[in-house]
Chain A
Amino acid sequence: MGIDTPYHDVWIVVPAFNEASVIADVIADLRAAFDHVVCVDDGSRDDTGPAANAAGAHVVRHPVNLGQGAAIQTGVEYARKQPGARIFATFDADGQHRVKDVVAMIDRLTADDVDIVIGTRFADGPPARMPALKRLVLKVAAAVSPSSRKLHLTDAHNGLRVFNRTVADGLNITMNGMSHASEIISLIAENGWRAAEEPVEILYTDYSMSKGQPLLNGVNIVFDGFLRGRMPR
């Protein structure tokens, strides 16, 4: 293991859709700490892909827009084929995550001997700039999900996740859209992966707030949950 690049076995997966205005900065920040970043351009109509590539990321481009769940699956499938890849992370492209949180989560994954570490916004009470309604919905979502309860997870819909080879090889997201977050939680429960939570800070910038998903999407997520059992593997 090289001393100058302690995270050379880490692959960061960044799903991106129409993020040309911020993607270069996000990738550059990540590349300052990590050797390997793969940006999945989810059929963007702007220059997200070329911008990410120029900033130092591997780019995998969906020929059509498929959704965030599909993009994460593509990124993980790309990363797990790369020689020497041992640790994987998902990181949102809109600049709402902090690189130092990923570093802390990677250290936690190694130190605590778990399979997956998920970021949580609720470790020290709700975050300052989170809208009250969103806070309530996320709390309810975590409380009603049987898998989340079983695993004692407080924030199922956090975009920051760090996981090892076992999880990357077993990951098979069938929900293309935004329901992948609850699907990942269900996969953790079904496969008996050891999960831990790490407090992270979300930067609710005006940009990331404008890109956020509408709360009504929760209806879709609940409905997709019922469907999951019969999707072909």
Chain B
Amino acid sequence: MNWIQGLLIAAIVALLFYLLRSRRNAKTKAWVKVGYVMFVFAAIYAILRPDDTTVVANWLGVDRGADLIEYALIIAFIFTTISTYMRFKDLELKYARLAREVALQNAQAPGGEPLRRV
């Protein structure tokens, strides 16, 4: 197995496990920002010296720098998809709790006035 194969599989498994198990907290958010800044610097560097990505790719057992970047993109895409899904789930729960509070405040006992239709 190539270095890159091991690295990519490990990255996918680690991300999935991390996202599914950890709660979103201040530390996680900070690391996401640090990662984003590192990504920006790496991107600028790769634009200025595109051939260097091939050197790094070769260290990892990949032929071309462009391929390495594509692999990194796939990982980033998976990460984004899962974290968006998680965030939607969290929002859904908050939304449900809000709607529940509204529902409980407008509860109707039997024999009372007819329900207000929305």
Contact = CB atoms under 8 A, between A and B. Distances in A.
A61 interface: yes
Contact of B107 (A56, A58, A227, A231): A58
Contacts of A176: 92-93, 96
A227 B89 contact: yes
Contacts, number: 75
Contacts of B114: 50, 53
Using C-beta atoms within 8 Å of the partner chain, give the interface range for chain A.
20 to 34
A59 to B, nearest CB: 4
Secondary structure at chain A's binding surface: helix, strand, loop or mixed?
Answer: mixed
B22 A230 contact: yes
A49 interface: yes
B114 to A, nearest CB: 6
Interface in B83-107: 86, 89-90, 92-93, 95-96, 99-100, 102-104, 106-107
B110 A58 contact: yes
A200 to B, nearest CB: 26
A70 interface: yes
A134 to B, nearest CB: 27
Given A53-B110, A58-B110, A231 B90 contact: yes
Contacts of A174: 93
B5 interface: no
A231 B19 CA distance: 11
12 contacts: A49-B108, A50-B114, A53-B112, A60-B107, A61-B108, A62-B103, A66-B99, A67-B96, A74-B103, A176-B93, A230-B20, A231-B90
